[in-house]
Amino acid sequence: MSYRGPEFDVPQPRRFRHGPLAVALAVLVAGALLGWLVYEGVGGADGSPRAASSAPGLSGDDGKRGADTSSAAGGGALRGKVVVIDPGHNPGNVRHPAEINRQVDIGTNRKECDTTGTSTNAGYPEAKFTLDLAHRLRVLLQREGATVKLTHDGDSPPWGPCVDERARIGNAAHADAAISLHADGSAAGNRGFHVIMPGAVHAGAADTRRIVGPSHELGTRLKGAFARETGEAPADYLGEGTGLVTRTDLGGLNLSKVPKVFLECGNMRDSTDAALLTSGAWRQKAARGISEGIMSFLRES
């Protein structure tokens, strides 16, 4: 981050002739600055988006900021588009069992506000995975001109939000597309990713009839782009190998008024999938795949 001080006339210093020592120091400083800029531009050793802190609308070393808004500058293919990213679960949920276990209305029935999510056998939590992936995806979409909103940013709020509130955040933003990021906790040996799309629901506060079609289109484009960028195959344990699943029991989909899908990026309980999900370089590929899928959908919408 650069800082420009108060604009006033600074007294001009006396001019001195530069000796050999001054010239050497100047060269060393310039070289160090150039090296830092190159490191920031190419990214960290684990593939993390080191340039995130200087991307439009971001702040902090890891690109985090509040979850309410995260807007992009000027031009780009997605200028004028709004995307809501919903990182599944929350790292703080484990410390708030009473809050996340309370029941909320999802239209078809009542379910827990939220859950802690799953984890790899080595203890890498789904909530940490989804938040990291959301940060990477946000940077890529903002570079294309999109306005991006997160439903939460780990510590804001410190738990949740509840599944019904996650849907309302997308609705209030009038999102052109919304995606909830997850990783599955199926049995070891089950591999692959799948996209969950809303089924037709019209009960209580839930009415998905207007978004079923566009959500299916979003899911189909997301599946293709995610597979291309990551090299991963669709799940071999559900969806009959199509990578596409329709459900009517998820509050985040039932209560959505905007095109929305869930993406289960892999199975955390399978050692092969877990090795991918815990890799920063692979998560960057996943973010690119998701971004490409969303862009493909929004260009046609």
Active-site hit among 144, 229, 264, 292:
264
Per-residue pLDDT reduced to its tens digit, 199-219: 999 999 999 999 999 999 999
Q: Give the global pTM.
A: 0.79
Q: Enumerate residues 6+ apart whose C-beta is below 8 A from 14.
A: none
Pair 210, 123: CB distance under 8 Å: no
- Residue 17's pLDDT is 44
The verdict on whether 40 is a catalytic residue reads no
Q: Which has the higher per-residue pLDDT, 210 or 8? A: 210
- pLDDT value at 70 more than 60: no
Average pLDDT value for the chain:
83
- Residue 67's pLDDT is 56
Segment holding 105, helix H or strand E: strand 103-105
Per-residue pLDDT reduced to its tens digit, 114-165: 999 999 999 999 999 999 999 999 999 999 999 999 999 988 999 999 999 9
Find the range with the poorest average confidence among 19-33, 89-103, 131-145, 276-290. Answer: 19-33
- Where are the extended beta strands (E) located within 128-259? 147-150, 177-184, 194-198, 202-203, 206-207, 244-247
- Residue 301's pLDDT is 81
ω into 161 cis (within 30 of 0): yes
Find the range with the poorest average confidence among 2-6, 94-98, 255-259, 262-266. Answer: 2-6
Q: How many helices (H) and strands (E) does the chain have?
A: 8, 10
Pair 102, 113: CB distance under 8 Å: yes
Backbone dihedral angles phi then psi of residue 91, each to the nearest 5 degrees: -55, -25
